[in-house]
Chain A
Amino acid sequence: VVLTQSPGTLSLSPGERATLSCRASQSFSSNYLAWYQQKPGQAPRLLISGASSRATGIPDRFSASGSGTDFTLTISRLEPEDFAVYYCQQYSFSPLTFGQGTKLEIK
């Protein structure tokens, strides 16, 4: 399953709303879709899995939605620490695959 994320880069200001897209080449259950955040020099961190379940310690400004082939990660009000690269991942089918990432940068 090929995952295509858009946009490649998103330039926003703190306090704004961010909407990141992940489109799949074939349909699968949103139960097997995850979103990760990665900052420079760090391992990815799980944000959301199983459609919309936030991982431990993830603030509620992060939410996810979608089904079938179209999935969305929303950050309701950007905080300075949210500027990073975001990846979607499907773990419904083998091989597991990741999107190419969306870089969220400060405008």
Chain B
Amino acid sequence: QVQLVQSGAEVKPPGASVTLSCKASEHTLTKYYVHWVRQAPGQGLEWMGMIDPSDAGTNYEQKFQGRVTFTRDTSTSSVYMQLRSLRSEDTAMYYCAVVPAGVRAAFDFWGQGTIVTVSS
């Protein structure tokens, strides 16, 4: 089973950008779609979008369009999420999760999460 390791905690001022990483244990990340989900403190889960590492195709939740970018580096089995123009409401735990490529599936494998704090 695939294991996902996410980058460490981040503290950013309002207006800044943050880039988080999610590295898969398997060398063939292209077998999966990678989704990003965030969770504000004490709140529920919010889907942000997904990337297909095989062709870098993306699908962003409309709420984040223009402010988020997903990229991938297949040589290191890693995907990245950049979130720009940070505001206090972006303070949250950010998770990556994978599903098998080409199918609609639930999120069986999750990263451990990266906490992002937006504060001046």
Contacts and interface: CB of A to CB of B under 8 A. Distances in A.
Q: How large is the interface on A (under 10, 10 to 19, 20 to 34, 35 or more residues)?
A: 20 to 34
A54 B62 CA distance: 31
Classify the interface of chain A: helix, strand, loop or mixed: loop
Contacts of B102: none
Interface in A89-107: 89, 91-92, 94-101
Contact of B104 (A32, A38, A101): A32
Contacts of B95: 43-44
- Which of B47, B59, B106, B110 has the most CB atoms of chain A within a 10 A radius of its CB? B106
A82 to B, nearest CB: 19
Given A94-B59, A95-B62, A96-B35, A44 B47 contact: no
A44 B110 CA distance: 8
Contact of B44 (A45, A55, A91, A99): A99
Nearest to A97: B47
Interface residues of B, number: 20
Given A43-B95, A46-B108, A50-B106, A95 B47 contact: yes
B86 to A, nearest CB: 21
A55 to B, nearest CB: 6
B112 interface: yes
A63 interface: no
Interface in B9-43: 35, 37
B47 A43 contact: no
5 contacts: A44-B45, A44-B110, A45-B110, A46-B108, A98-B47
Interface of A: 32, 34, 36, 38, 43-46, 49-50, 55-56, 87, 89, 91-92, 94-101
Interface of B: 35, 37, 44-47, 49, 59, 61-62, 95, 104-108, 110-113
Given A43-B112, A87-B44, 12 more contacts: A34-B106, A43-B110, A46-B106, A55-B108, A87-B45, A91-B105, A91-B106, A94-B59, A98-B37, A98-B45, A98-B47, A101-B45
